[in-house]
């Protein structure tokens, strides 16, 4: 199939940080801004795995080629068609949002990839991907995926109040940022509510969907919650600053990790980059979107962001600008220092 290029075999693929995203409908720009935030701040080389409708493929290729060479040399990209290896493709496509269920099939499709970070299109990196990639090393011997809780407070969490199916922990998990050891996922027999024995990931997906389809609201995220309810030892839970959503500040601040360390990964779900309900989220999206690649990060990204934030202080999320700025400021200092040191090193032979 066109676009399904071969991946480098181990060990070279271990040198790459693999990032996967699924883009359908009107998500082209959002996906490109997410990839831009990844490239702006990452240190190691990135491998992008973009699953997209056929109509979006030429546009992705064109836009990524337009980026300056100082950035395009930091990544390689593969674009794949939307495919579902088991069950009824039309049913999978209709699950929650178009094509979102594709992420469930990543372990099956990307057979040569050992580990992977999956993100939704509406995610922005405010620090190097290298930092979340390091969490793979913290997995114990049974953990094979990592996600953040869906909520910090059970009494206002969605799953704890409304779910009609099993879910992980006390508040469920959010699948918008998901770190996966694909090798482990492929080799594990998962406990389930279908048969007494274990099932492989691929064997389990469609029967599980058939069993719970009348009870799930959030599509593939609900299926992941069901899987990890039965297999809690397989999940590493990372703190909320790695998947920071409007829910963390729109009812008052409830992500302590972000208050202490700053937001590491911003997840603008509920469409907040494109309306005026959460201007703090929108400000970050627009500043990264409008940043000219070769410009000075402080002048063309950080200062515009600070001035936009001044207009959002009347909102609950805008009241805590340091939460949004802390990591991005630290990251930019590091990028700037690295460039200056590299530049000086190249021009001054001591």
Residues 112 and 69 in one domain: yes
- Output the pLDDT for position 100: 79
Residues 159 and 89 in one domain: yes
The answer as to whether 225 is a domain residue is yes
Task: Say how far apart CA 283 and CA 265 lie, in whole Å.
Answer: 15
Residues 297 and 160 in one domain: no
Q: At which residue do the structure tokens 């492929």 appear?
A: 186
The answer as to whether 120 is a domain residue is yes
The answer as to whether 3 is a domain residue is no
Residues 86 and 209 in one domain: yes
Task: Say how far apart CA 164 and CA 219 lie, in whole Å.
Answer: 13
Specify the 3-state DSSP secondary structure of 172.
coil
Task: Say how far apart CA 305 and CA 278 lie, in whole Å.
Answer: 15
Specify the 3-state DSSP secondary structure of 177.
strand
- Output the pLDDT for position 10: 38
| pTM tops 0.85 | yes
Q: Which of 253, 16, 243 is nearest to 122 (CA)?
A: 243
Task: Say how far apart CA 256 and CA 252 lie, in whole Å.
Answer: 11
Give me the DSSP letters along 96-148: SSTTGGGGGGHHHH-TT-SEEEEE-TTEEESS-HHHHHGGGGG--TT--EEEE
Q: Which of 220, 221, 164, 230 is nearest to 194 (CA)?
A: 230
Give the residue from 204, 238, 272 where a domain finishes: 238
Residues 156 and 47 in one domain: yes
Phi, psi of 148 (to 5 degrees): -95, 160
Domain range enclosing 94: 17-238
Residues 209 and 248 in one domain: no
Q: What share of the chain is helix, strand, coil (3-state, %, to 5)?
A: 45, 15, 35
Task: Say how far apart CA 251 and CA 211 lie, in whole Å.
Answer: 35
The answer as to whether 7 is a domain residue is no
Instruction: HSE, CB side, 13 Å, CA atoms: give it for residue 319.
Output: 10
CATH number for position 231? 3.90.550.10
Is 216 within 8 Å of 165 (Cβ atoms)? yes
Give me the DSSP letters along 188-252: PPBP-SSSSS-B-HHHHHHHHHHHHTTT-SSTHHHHHHHHHHH-GGGEEEPPGGGSB-GGGTBTB
For 300-316, letters b (16+ CB in 10 Å) and e give: bbbeebeebbeebeebe
Residues 194 and 50 in one domain: yes
Give pLDDT tens digits along the chain (350 positions): 444 444 434 344 458 999 999 999 999 999 999 999 999 999 999 999 999 999 999 999 999 999 999 999 999 999 999 998 888 888 887 776 668 789 999 999 999 999 999 999 999 999 999 999 999 999 999 999 999 999 988 888 888 888 889 999 999 999 999 999 999 999 999 999 999 999 999 999 999 999 999 998 888 999 999 999 999 999 999 999 999 999 999 988 899 999 999 999 999 999 999 999 999 999 999 999 999 998 999 999 999 999 999 999 999 999 999 999 999 999 989 888 877 776 666 665 44
Contacts of residue 235, defined as CB under 8 A and 6 or more positions apart, other chains included, come to 143, 145, 146, 147, 168, 173, 228
Residues 271 and 156 in one domain: no
- Output the pLDDT for position 1: 42
Is 223 within 8 Å of 102 (Cβ atoms)? no
Is 160 within 8 Å of 151 (Cβ atoms)? yes
Specify the 3-state DSSP secondary structure of 69.
helix
Give the residue from 238, 261, 285 where a domain finishes: 238
Specify the 3-state DSSP secondary structure of 342.
helix
Would you tell me how many other CB atoms lie within 10 Å of the CB of residue 90?
A: 8
The answer as to whether 6 is a domain residue is no
- Output the pLDDT for position 346: 60
Task: Say how far apart CA 97 and CA 25 lie, in whole Å.
Answer: 10
Residues 134 and 229 in one domain: yes
If one counts the domains in the chain, the total is 2
Task: Say how far apart CA 40 and CA 96 lie, in whole Å.
Answer: 31
Give the residue from 216, 238, 260 where a domain finishes: 238
């Amino acid at each position: 199939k066109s676009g399904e290029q071969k991946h480098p075999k181990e060990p070279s693929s271990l040198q790459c940080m693999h990032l996967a995203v699924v883009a359908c409908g009107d998500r082209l720009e959002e996906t490109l801004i997410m990839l831009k935030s990844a490239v702006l701040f990452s240190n190691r080389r990135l491998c992008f795995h973009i699953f997209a409708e056929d109509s979006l493929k030429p546009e992705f290729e064109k836009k990524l080629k337009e980026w300056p060479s100082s950035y395009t040399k930091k990544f390689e990209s593969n674009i794949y068609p939307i495919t579902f290896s088991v069950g009824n493709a039309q049913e999978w496509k209709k699950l929650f949002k178009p094509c979102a269920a594709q992420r469930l099939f990543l372990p099956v499709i990307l057979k040569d990839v050992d580990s992977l970070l999956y993100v939704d299109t509406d995610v922005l990196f405010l620090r190097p991907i290298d930092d979340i990639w390091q969490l793979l090393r913290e997995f114990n011997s049974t953990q094979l995926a990592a996600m953040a809780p869906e909520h910090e407070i059970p009494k206002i969490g969605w799953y704890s109040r409304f779910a009609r199916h099993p879910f992980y922990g006390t508040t469920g998990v959010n699948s918008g940022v998901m770190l996966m050891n694909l090798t482990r996922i492929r080799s594990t027999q998962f406990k389930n509510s279908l048969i007494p024995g274990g099932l492989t990931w691929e064997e389990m997906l469609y029967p599980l969907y058939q069993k719970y389809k009348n009870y799930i609201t959030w599509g593939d995220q609900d299926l992941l919650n069901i899987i990890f309810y039965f297999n809690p030892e397989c999940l590493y839970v990372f703190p909320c600053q790695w998947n920071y959503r409007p829910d963390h500040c729109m009812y008052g601040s409830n992500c302590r990790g972000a208050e202490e360390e700053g937001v590491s990964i911003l997840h603008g779900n509920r469409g907040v980059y494109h309306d005026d309900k959460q201007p703090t989220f929108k400000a970050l999206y627009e500043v990264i979107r409008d940043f000219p690649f070769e410009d000075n990060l402080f002048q063309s990204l950080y200062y515009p962001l600070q001035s936009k934030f001044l207009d959002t202080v009347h909102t609950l999320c805008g009241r805590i600008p340091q939460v949004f700025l802390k990591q991005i400021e630290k990251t930019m200092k590091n990028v700037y220092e690295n460039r200056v040191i590299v530049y000086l090193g190249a021009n001054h032979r001591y």
